[in-house]
Homo-oligomer: A and B are copies of this chain.
């Protein structure tokens, strides 16, 4: 399997996580962390169901990967995430020393990996995280659009 297909394969896994969030009526965002070609952590947004705003998919994935590796330093690890990380999550990517983040949909309102600002590349922090955007962009965007449409319909009915 070539590199391009691998990227899509891993983003599909992140999308599976996002769908788990959707099923719980959480904003559908999923993230996975890969090291040496293997998935070491999977997570989805659980902000509302756990009443904890730090429970974004990316933070939960970082916590799981750190536990798995028994280290807070996620050296040679890459994240695949269906939506561009916010400032909190981009900051966590820097803190955790993640090597690269692959992003599906962009977030023009809160995205901190190039949309509103670029925490990962534009500042002299002690670690820089590489960014690649547009991986399965349409699927990631469509899942979000579909979710917010569903949510509006539920509110109309409710």
Residues of B contacting A88 in the complex (Cβ-Cβ under 8 angstroms): 87-92, 94-95
A5 proximal to B (CB < 8 A): no
A153 proximal to B (CB < 8 A): no
Q: Copies of this chain, how many?
A: 2
Chain A contact residues (Cβ within 8 angstroms of B): what range?
35 or more
A112 proximal to B (CB < 8 A): yes
Q: Is the interface of A mostly helix, strand, loop or mixed?
A: loop
A132 proximal to B (CB < 8 A): no
Residues in chain A within 8 A of chain B (CB atoms): 47-48, 51-54, 56, 59, 62-63, 66-67, 70-73, 86-92, 94-96, 109-110, 112, 116-117, 119, 123-126
